[in-house]
Amino acid sequence: MISVPRVLMGVVEGAHGVQGLVKVRSFAAEPAAIAAYGPLECGDGKRFKARYKGMVRGNVLLSVEGVTDRDQAQALRGTELFVPRAALPGLDEEEDGFYHADLIGLEVRLTDGQVLGSVTGVADYGAGELLEVRLVRDRLTPSHESDTELNVNRSLKQSGRADSRSQSKPVNGFDFKRPALEDRGRTVLVPFTKAVVPEVNVAQGFVVVDPLPGLLDEPRKADEDMEDAD
């Protein structure tokens, strides 16, 4: 069986209403265009027709052939929606040569090669395009810890000799405090400009970001924000 190249166009977020409409997070540059390129396909190759019905809270509303009630629509939650790559309009040779949908899932690296996270979406709230980046859960802040130092910290923890002093002790001038547990895996918005995202390599599965100062800072605690508001 010949494998046809496909592009991930969106993911079903759930049902909307009681008449079978589904909410879809669209990865198309124009979200409403998700249903404009012919039948959509599930991961298993099953095809179905869908029609655009509107937008709600940033999600696209689609009516799906054969889905007529809320239970059927809700059963599709989490379903990835694809179209054959050949169905999409040709790329401008003067452009970078990728669709917005191609960016989803790409690894995000800093200019020094450190893995920052992965692309989970592309947004535009009116001031320019933004990459939604889900940070890796064990990212260091800042990240300057060597493999040797990581192994030492793991050994201390396993032996029961790790404490707050040993975990936060500066090494070579850097403080290796990890983000608060509840902060790991958070999403940040990165301006999708040449200056901040100097390299996009779809073929090898990564983008490089050179973040603006403060872009990756951990959010301040609520009580600190309250103090600033006083």
Q: What is the pLDDT of residues 47-101, one digit of tens each?
A: 989 999 999 988 999 999 999 999 999 999 999 999 988 888 776 654 567 888 8
pLDDT tens digits for range 156-213: 333 333 333 333 333 333 332 333 333 457 888 999 999 999 999 988 999 999 988 8
Q: Does residue 23 fall inside a structural domain?
A: yes
Shared domain for 18 and 59, answered yes or no, is: yes
Shared domain for 116 and 187, answered yes or no, is: yes
Shared domain for 107 and 81, answered yes or no, is: no
Q: Does residue 171 fall inside a structural domain?
A: no
DSSP 8-state symbol, 167: H
Please return the burial class of 221, using the count of CB atoms within 10 Å of its CB with bins 0-12, 13-18 and 19+: exposed
Shared domain for 22 and 82, answered yes or no, is: yes
Domain extent at residue 189 = 100-139+181-229
Which of 27, 59, 87 is at the close of a domain? 87
Q: Nearest-CA neighbor of 117 among 149, 145, 140, 148?
A: 140
Number of domains in the chain: 2
CATH classification of the domain holding 210 = 2.30.30.240
Shared domain for 126 and 217, answered yes or no, is: yes
> Do residues 140 and 175 touch, judged by C-beta distance below 8 A?
no
> Do residues 99 and 29 touch, judged by C-beta distance below 8 A?
yes
